[in-house]
């Protein structure tokens, strides 16, 4: 590979790292601001917000410290799917919040469960974390022993919790659209890993994608 090509790849990698880190840092600051102005809220709501803020800070660090990828997904569609999947669900917070007790209680449970799952998954994923499909290594520890995409599952549980906080027909539609985008991301990611990492084929043959015995 020429020096110019290497320079372009390095510049692209660093740009994506910085943009991703800035986005998650912004989300962490927004969560911190919300906590500061909502100290009178019930403790389950404050606890879930605190966990979410910690999660965003962790993602910021991972984005800045991840090693270079061995391979990137080619084409525009995988990148579009990655960015839409990462950012679209957070538009849900622009909808009015429901005042019903049961949806808010279920929302708190979903957010806490999803955040804990995310933290456990990221602990094993480590610096292999990315937004756009990239190949670094095949992780086979922790939840990756049972399913191939635990982070996507955890994220969807958190987003379900956010939908329950802002429960309308529109937010339910956003949820189902996001699930469709995430399925596309999974397929793009698997194709890249299959082509870039020889050991991935034997790994994927013995694991379910998201839900054991379902898919």
Q: 163 or 130: whose pLDDT is higher?
A: 163
- Tens-digit pLDDT profile for residues 14-35: 777 787 788 788 878 887 887 8
Over residues 174-183, the mean pLDDT reads: 89
Q: Which residues pair with 134 in a beta bridge?
A: 72
Domain residues for 116? 3-204
- Kindly state whether residue 214 falls inside one of the protein's structural domains: no
What domain count does the chain have?
1
How many whole angstroms separate alpha carbon 104 and alpha carbon 48?
A: 11
Cβ(44)–Cβ(104) under 8 Å? no
- Is residue 83 classed exposed, middle or buried when 0-12, 13-18 and 19+ CB atoms within 10 A define those classes? middle
- Kindly state whether residue 156 falls inside one of the protein's structural domains: yes
Domain with residue 7: its CATH number is 1.20.120.1630
- Kindly state whether residue 85 falls inside one of the protein's structural domains: yes
Over residues 67-81, the mean pLDDT reads: 65
Q: What is the pLDDT of residue 157?
A: 92
**Segment of 61-70, 139-148, 152-161, 204-213 carrying the highest mean pLDDT:** 152-161
Does pLDDT of 137 surpass 80?
no
- Kindly state whether residue 209 falls inside one of the protein's structural domains: no
Q: 23 or 70: whose pLDDT is higher?
A: 23
Does pLDDT of 185 surpass 60?
yes
Q: What is the pLDDT of residue 68?
A: 62
- H/E run at residue 71: strand 71-72
DSSP output for 128-191? G--SS-EES----SGGGGTBS-HHHHHHHHHHHHHHHHT-SHHHHHHHHHHHHHHHHHHHHHHH
How many whole angstroms separate alpha carbon 160 and alpha carbon 113?
A: 11
- Kindly state whether residue 186 falls inside one of the protein's structural domains: yes
How many whole angstroms separate alpha carbon 134 and alpha carbon 149?
A: 14
Could you give the percent of the chain with pLDDT greater than 90?
3
> Would you give the distance in Å from CA 180 to the centre of its chain?
14
- H/E run at residue 72: strand 71-72
Could you give the percent of the chain with pLDDT greater than 70?
80
Does pLDDT of 8 surpass 60?
no
Over residues 109-114, the mean pLDDT reads: 86
- Kindly state whether residue 215 falls inside one of the protein's structural domains: no
Q: What is the pLDDT of residue 71?
A: 55
- Kindly state whether residue 131 falls inside one of the protein's structural domains: yes
Q: What is the pLDDT of residue 7?
A: 47
- Kindly state whether residue 111 falls inside one of the protein's structural domains: yes
Cβ(25)–Cβ(32) under 8 Å? no
Q: What is the pLDDT of residue 27?
A: 79
């Amino acid at each position: 590979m020429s020096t110019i090509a290497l320079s372009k790849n390095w510049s692209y990698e660093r740009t994506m790292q910085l943009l991703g880190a800035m986005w998650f840092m912004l989300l962490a600051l927004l969560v911190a601001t919300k906590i500061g102005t909502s100290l009178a809220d019930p403790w389950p709501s404050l606890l879930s917000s605190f966990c979410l803020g910690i999660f965003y800070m962790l993602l910021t660090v991972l984005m800045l410290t991840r090693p270079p990828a061995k391979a990137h997904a080619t084409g525009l569609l995988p990148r579009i799917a990655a960015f839409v999947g990462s950012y679209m669900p957070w538009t849900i917070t622009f909808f009015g919040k429901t005042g019903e007790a049961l949806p808010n209680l279920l929302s708190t449970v979903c957010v806490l469960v999803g955040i804990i799952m995310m933290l456990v998954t990221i602990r094993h994923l480590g610096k292999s974390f990315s937004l756009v499909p990239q190949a670094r290594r095949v992780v086979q520890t922790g939840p990756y022993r049972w399913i191939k995409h635990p982070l996507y599952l955890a994220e969807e549980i958190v987003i379900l919790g956010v939908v329950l906080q802002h429960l309308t027909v529109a937010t339910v539609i956003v949820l189902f659209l996001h699930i469709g985008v995430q399925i596309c991301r999974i397929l793009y990611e698997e194709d890249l890993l299959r082509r870039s990492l020889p050991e991935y084929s034997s790994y994927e043959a013995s694991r379910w994608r998201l839900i054991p015995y379902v898919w």
